[in-house]
Amino acid sequence: MIGSITPGEMEALRLSLEVASRSVLFSLPLAVLVAWVLTRAHFPGRTVLDAFVHLPLVLPPVAVGYVLLILFGSHGPLGSWLRRHLGIELAFSTAGAALATAVMTFPIMVRAIRIALETVDRGLEAAARTLGAGPLDRFFTITLPLMLPGILAGAVTAFAAGLGEFGAVITFAANIPGVTRTLPLALYTEMQSPSGDLPAARLATISIALGLLGLVLSELLARRVRRLLGR
C-alpha cells in the first residue's frame, strides 16, 4: 500500500506537473521581456510597472484568484472576449489553473532573470557592437546566452513554486478532480475528509520528494551551464 501510487495520486501529480510546466512555458518569454524593460529601459512608468509585477508577492493569493475571476471569468471583459474570438475558456479549466499559477510565480521569475541581466557584462555587448551586431542580434547572440543560468534558475524556481500554488488556483479554477485538482488541492481535500489522514500524509510526502528532486536537479543544471560558460 505504501509502495505503489494510487491512480488518484498519480492524477494529482500529473496535473501539478502539467499546470506548473504550462505556467512556466507561457510566462517565460514575457518574464524575460519585463525583466529587460525593468533593467534597461528608462521611461516614466517604470516604478509603477515594477510594483505591478511584484503585486502577487504581497497580495493574498485568494485576492489574485478573485481578480482573475473578475477579468477572465466567462462574463469578465477578457474572459468573454477570449471565449467569443478564440473559443478559450479559462475559468475552471487546467489552462486557468496554469494562468493563476503563472501570475503568482511571475515575480519570482522576473526577479531571477533581472539579477542575471544585471550581471551580464555590458562590455561584451559593446564588443559585439563593434563587431557589427545590431540591437536584436546582440540580444540573442550575447545577452540572452549569458543570462541563461539566471533564466534557468528563475524557471526552475517558478516551476517548483508552481507545483504548490493553492489559493489563486482554487479561487480561479476551483477544485475539480482531473482538471484542476493538483497536489496541494488534493492534499487539502483529503484533510477535509474524516478518513483522509493517511492519504494526506502520502500526498505531503510526494510533495516533499518532488520539491527536493526539483531543487537538486536545478543545482546540477546550474553547475553544468556555469561550466559551459567557463565560470
Partner 1 sequence: MLKATLLKRRDGFTLRAQLEAPTPGVVALFGRSGCGKTTLVNLISGLLEPDEGRVEINGTVLTDTQAGVSVPVEKRRVGYVFQDARLFPHLSVLANLRYGEKRATAAARVVVFDEVIALLGIQPLLRRRPHQLSGGERQRVALGRALLSQPALLLLDEPLAALDAARREEVLPYLEALRDRLSIPMVYVSHQFDEVLRLATHVVLMEAGNVIAQGSLMEVSLRPQLRAIVGPESVGAVLDGRVARVEANLTDLQVGEGVLRISLKEARAGAPVRVQVLARDVIIATQPPHGLSVRNALEGTITGLVDEQYDDAVLVTVDIGGATLLSRVTREAVAALSLRPSLRVWALVKAVSTRGHAFALGPAQGS
**Spatial contact of 93 and 16, defined as CB atoms under 8 Å apart:** no
Q: Which is nearer to partner 1, 32 or 69 (CB)?
A: 32
Q: Which is nearer to partner 1, 72 or 139 (CB)?
A: 139
> Within 10 A of 65 (CB to CB), how many other CB atoms are there?
25
Least distance to partner 1, CB of residue 145, Å: 5
Residues in contact with partner 1 by the rule CB under 8 A? 121, 123-124, 126-134, 137, 141-142, 145-146, 148, 228-231
Q: Which is nearer to partner 1, 146 or 221 (CB)?
A: 146
Least distance to partner 1, CB of residue 96, Å: 38
Can you tell me the distance from the alpha carbon of 181 to that of 97, in angstroms, rounded to the nearest whole number? 9
Can you tell me the distance from the alpha carbon of 77 to that of 175, in angstroms, rounded to the nearest whole number? 24
Give the alpha-carbon dihedral of 141, 142, 145, 149, to 10 degrees: -170
Least distance to partner 1, CB of residue 66, Å: 44
Q: Which is nearer to partner 1, 83 or 129 (CB)?
A: 129
Pull the grid cell for residue 90: 479559462
Q: Which is nearer to partner 1, 126 or 208 (CB)?
A: 126
Q: Which is nearer to partner 1, 7 or 230 (CB)?
A: 230
Least distance to partner 1, CB of residue 115, Å: 18
Least distance to partner 1, CB of residue 122, Å: 10
Burial track 179-208 (b if 16+ CB lie within 10 A, e otherwise): bbbbbbbbbbbbeeeeebeebbebbeebbe
Residues in CB range of 29: below 8 A, 6 or more apart = none
Least distance to partner 1, CB of residue 231, Å: 7
> Within 10 A of 141 (CB to CB), how many other CB atoms are there?
12
Helices 197-228 and 183-192 pack at an angle, to 10 degrees, of 160
